[in-house]
A and B are shown apart, each in its own frame.
Chain A
Amino acid sequence: MVKSSNKKAAKSAERGRARSVSNRLGVFFLAVLLVFVALSVRLFFITRDNSAVYQQKILSQQIYDSQVINAKRGEIVDANGTVLAASKEVYNVILDVKQLRLKNESNGNNIAQTTTVEALVNIFGADRVTVNKYIEAVPDSQYYVVKRGITYEEMSRFLPLITKPEEGNLEQSLYNKDITGVWFEKYYVRYYPQNSLACDVIGFSLSDGNASYGLEEYYNDVLTGTAGRRYGYLSDEALMETTTIPATDGNTLVTTIDANIQMMVEKRLKAFSDQYKDNARKGLGANNIGCIVMRANTGEVLAMASYPNYNLNDPMDLSSLYTEEDLKKMSEEGTLRDAYDALWKNYCIADTYEPGSVMKPFTVAMGLETGTIKGNESYFCGGSLVVANHEIACHNTNGDGWLTVKGAVAQSCNVALMQMVEKIGAKNFLDYQSVFNIGLRTNIDLAGESRTDALVFNEKTLNASELATSSFGQGFNVTMIQMAAGYAALVNGGYYYEPHVVSKILSSSGSVVKNIEPRLIKQVISNNTSDIIRDYCNAVVTDGTGWRAKPAGYAIGGKTGTAETVPRGNGEYVVSFACHVPADNPEIICYVVIDRPNVSKQEDAKYSSIVSKQILTDILPYLNIPMTEELTDAQKQELEELDLSVLTNRGEESEDEEKKEEGATNGN
């Protein structure tokens, strides 16, 4: 009884305790309820106070996955379609290390990494240790460039390994599911199939959208094209959709340059430079040697070259010009940049020099056009003339005696020209200076044309002695392209054409975007005057100073030039020769300028005349300009030998030259 009542009491006590636990749990429940209320209030305040701001924040962090599709830079081709500059597809091999690591983790082993690295090593020759080290060091990297600039072919060898085959073909395929995180990034690199050919005209583009010098810089916008974009967005079903805006490839430039003529010209310039290398002084055959070949009646530039030149595919390489010691010294002195600039800039449009006697036909034309000289006058040259208390010498210090106007041009007599310009007067000279565009840019479509407006005389600076020296091209500076364009106008009937290099702009698919027609700017002199000047210039070659320039079988006209450089009196000269072919009805203008030829006696225009002749001999048959004169047997033989060397040995020769060049570099 007692026991049972005890038991009952115990049970009752147990119930009581259980009851009290339940009660306290109820109190605890109320406490929890209060916490929930507090949290609800907090949620309410977060929503009330920040709704708008946080909505904006969320929108602002929505960066849709987007990817630039690079546009292909347009090509540059010559008049015949030879590719001078083009872009090719290359790929970077990218490894997504994070993806690889995640795959490793989900597999629970290291097979994915081993297999992937193995494949990269086998196919792309990646360095196993480097790759593994990188994976260790940066396990969260999603962009590791394993190899740069592989070709499409190289990439195609890897693709089968990561391309899932269709059902059933599993056995034949090379597909390896363990290769993870490898993808290819496509981009374009610029390359120049002709290496250094026409380097001054073309310029170079080292990275996409950036270009330096020449056509690349001038037509950068035309060539660049518009990049496309591939981007993803979320559709209504929360699926990732992608949209692609394709890239618009850049336009192609069709130039007036003829690669063959360009090649012939460059060959001759280089030959000259090599011939006189280390002759009178250490160094190249001339500080610089430039040549422009253009059509007399359109202003189309057929060839524009200078030497030294550089390889467009490797513009940073100076090893052909300087030894390593020199380079080291220059980089220490900080003159390396200047050396690059000098090499890269286009001598024919960027460098200024005093034109010398090539100016004489211009001066005579001024006289004839203004009527200040008639053309039938005679002048006496005693070797020098005193102008404004300065005694100015003729290049022939013995004196040329009595000369007609024609004779003065043919013999290139300074004294006669000084007498003429005195009659012409400063005002006429200045007027015609601007008529001939001397001191103004020609606006040729190439980057880097120099301004020369400060390098010519004006009303204030053109005094008697300056006027006198100006008559034979000393005292003011010009660019080659100004002189070539002016000379063309002198001999083609007086029509001044804007020189240009691009004849057509094509879209990437080949349709014509723009035709660039020859642009006639003005008539600078009358037809009649032009006929007379042409006659005088023909006499320079037949009876005068330019006889060495005459190519066998062709009648040409031209004018030699020899100009002393500043500072005067140290025996340094710029020699030049401007000419037109055929003599009576000019089609081609060729202008050669040699800056300080590497010879002991520089003041001799024969160097430029001879280079001109060599160039003309090469290019005139190529241009299908018929010969006008019978060839002597000696000339025939000479030409035959030349033909052989031009047509059959071109390749070998250039190889030989390269070897020589290498030898020379090593020798230094």
Chain B
Amino acid sequence: MQPKKFLFGNKRYFDFSLLFIVLFLLAFGLVMVFSTSSYASSLAHDGDGLFFLRRQLISVAVGLFMMVVVSFIPFGIYKRFALLIYLASILCILLVLPLGRTINGARRWIYVFGMSIQPAEIVKIGIIIFTATLLSKMSNKERTSWKGVLLTLIPAGIISAMLYFITTNLSSAIIVALIAACMLMIAAPKCYKLYILLALAGIGTVALIILIVKGAGSGSLGFRGERILAWLNPEAYADGKGFQILQSLYGIGSGGIWGKGLGKSMQKLGFLPEASNDMIFSIICEELGLFGGLAVILMFILLLWRIRDASVYCTDMFGNLLVTGVFAHIAIQVIINIAVASNSIPNTGMPLPFISYGGSSVIFILMEIGLVMNVARHSDFKEAPAPAPAEDKDGEDNEAEE
């Protein structure tokens, strides 16, 4: 069933469902940022409880503007500048050295014109575009060969390593590496070489964890090692690495099914570190309960579905790979954030997209949405082959057009 053309043909096709979901998440995010930050904000800024909300509001406005701009730029252009974008990403990370400022023992921000920007967020877009370009220029055969696999993974690996060693930002390093790996996995059908690599990485991780747990008594572990022990038994490390995670669990657990009510969290009153940032999901669960938490998850599922749908009528490999990258980025970040908040994986700081407080994060993720919108604009409903039965989303497509 072919959907109707919207207004001036396919070029003007616009996925309103995607927009609405994004706007809903942003609005919900602002409410939660206000709820979680007003107490800390009024303590830190002479009773001004709106301080963080205002800053987040500005970031969201800037992000929405950028999203609209990006959604009008034909995505094909990026292919031409891919190498430039990649090099710019590297430069951004290096800029941390002269322009960065150490906060909480880590150099992660660069300061230009009084604004602080986190290069890690720029780099994520950069790696999506660059990897998509690399993969789209290869044939299927090349993609599955060792050469293709390494050619795709090494640039991401370099960025990943830089993020880890220069900005000591493990979370972003993991994300960059995982985005590239996911894109390769999806671009290259039956690429066993990649599976072997992933399996090796998996085995390595498990081995590392076992090693750390075995060596728990020796006391010569780095702080990352302690994080893993704290993950396995947060109560035993309640004063140290387990504190945040335990407080997060308290938040989630105490909310019950329906929560304490919007704004009534107790954990946000200085007990849960990074309550409006990495741990905002815990506060959502505390205030709105399991219901609220699951609703947020549902919204992300809908968002990912809309993003994936942009690829259905896209006839261009590069466009699809861009969508894949954005999809992978958002999916991984949401999963890791919620998994950390529920202590399903060891603690690593990761903002919840659209919702967490943080300017760079929301601006660049909205730009990624802009990318997806632009790809969706180029949907070719005529030329695209009929959708496969498995992913038939006709009904929804119609709805999206309304």
- Chain A positions near chain B (C-beta within 8 angstroms): 11, 14-26, 28-29, 32-33, 35-36, 39-40, 42-44, 46-47, 49-51, 53-55, 57-59, 61-62, 105, 108, 234, 238-240
Contact = CB atoms under 8 A, between A and B. Distances in A.
B385 A28 contact: no
A33 B253 CA distance: 23
A353 B391 CA distance: 109
Contacts of B269: 62, 234
Given A17-B140, A29-B308, A46-B252, A22 B314 contact: yes
Contact of B250 (A28, A49, A58, A239): A58
Interface of B: 38-39, 42-43, 101, 103, 140, 182, 185-187, 189, 249-257, 263, 266-267, 269, 271, 285, 289-290, 293-294, 297, 300-301, 304-305, 308, 311-312, 314-317, 319-321, 323-324, 327-328, 331, 335, 338-339, 342, 344, 383-385, 388, 390-391
Contact of B335 (A11, A16, A39): A39
A178 B157 CA distance: 45
A32 B335 contact: yes
A51 B286 CA distance: 10
A53 B253 contact: yes
Contacts of B301: 32-33, 36
Contacts of A105: 103
Return the 4 tightest CB-CB contacts between A and B, nearest first: A54-B253, A50-B253, A22-B311, A26-B391
16 contacts: A14-B315, A15-B385, A17-B140, A18-B316, A18-B319, A22-B311, A23-B388, A25-B327, A28-B185, A35-B335, A39-B297, A40-B293, A40-B294, A50-B253, A238-B39, A239-B42
Contacts of B304: 29, 32
Nearest to A56: B254
B320 A21 contact: yes
Contact of A21 (B38, B42, B317): B317
A11 B42 CA distance: 59
A604 B316 CA distance: 126
B320 to A, nearest CB: 4
A25 B313 CA distance: 13
A22 B316 CA distance: 10
Contacts of B257: 47
Contacts of A50: 249, 253
Nearest to B332: A32
Contacts of B317: 14, 17-18, 21
Most buried by A among B254, B256, B263: B254
B363 to A, nearest CB: 22
Contact of A36 (B252, B255, B308, B335): B335
Given A40-B293, A42-B344, 19 more contacts: A14-B315, A14-B316, A15-B383, A18-B314, A18-B316, A18-B320, A22-B308, A22-B311, A24-B186, A25-B186, A28-B331, A36-B335, A39-B297, A43-B338, A51-B254, A53-B253, A55-B254, A58-B266, A238-B39
Nearest to B139: A17
A11 B267 CA distance: 56
Nearest to B268: A238
A432 B395 CA distance: 116
A106 to B, nearest CB: 9
A507 to B, nearest CB: 39
A85 to B, nearest CB: 42
Contacts of B324: 21, 25, 28
Contacts of A47: 252-253, 255-257, 285, 289-290
Contacts of A58: 250-251, 254, 266-267, 271
B46 to A, nearest CB: 10
A53 B255 CA distance: 11
B175 to A, nearest CB: 15
B103 to A, nearest CB: 7
Contacts of B384: 15, 19
A46 B301 CA distance: 21
B342 A108 contact: no
Contacts of A23: 388, 390-391
Residue of B42, B311, B328, B390 with most partner-chain A CB within 10 A = B311
A62 B266 contact: yes
Contacts of B185: 24, 28
B186 A21 contact: yes
A18 to B, nearest CB: 5
Nearest to B335: A35
Nearest to B331: A32
Nearest to A55: B254
A498 B263 CA distance: 67
Given A29-B305, A42-B344, A47-B257, A18 B290 contact: no
A33 B250 CA distance: 26
B245 to A, nearest CB: 12
Contacts of A14: 315-317
Contact of A43 (B42, B300, B316, B342): B342
Contacts of B390: 23, 26
B383 to A, nearest CB: 7
Most buried by B among A24, A39, A43, A53: A43
A44 B252 CA distance: 9
B253 A36 contact: no
A350 B314 CA distance: 103
A492 to B, nearest CB: 70
A20 to B, nearest CB: 6
A327 to B, nearest CB: 45
A20 B253 CA distance: 42
B320 A46 contact: no
A92 to B, nearest CB: 24
Contacts of B289: 47
A42 B182 CA distance: 24
Given A20-B189, A21-B187, A21-B321, A26 B308 contact: yes
A36 B327 contact: no
A40 B290 CA distance: 9
- Of A16, A35, A39, A239, chain B has the most CB atoms within 10 Å of the CB of A39
A644 B51 CA distance: 78
Given A18-B319, A54-B253, A43 B293 contact: yes
Contact of B385 (A19, A238, A240): A19
B189 A238 contact: no
Nearest to A238: B39
Contacts of B315: 11, 14-15, 18
A216 B295 CA distance: 67
B250 to A, nearest CB: 5
Contacts of B311: 18, 21-22, 25
Contacts of A43: 252, 285, 290, 293-294, 338, 342
A66 to B, nearest CB: 15
Contacts of B263: 238
Contacts of B39: 238
B143 to A, nearest CB: 10
Contacts of A11: 315
Q: Which of A14, A21, A238 has most B Cβ within 10 Å? A: A21
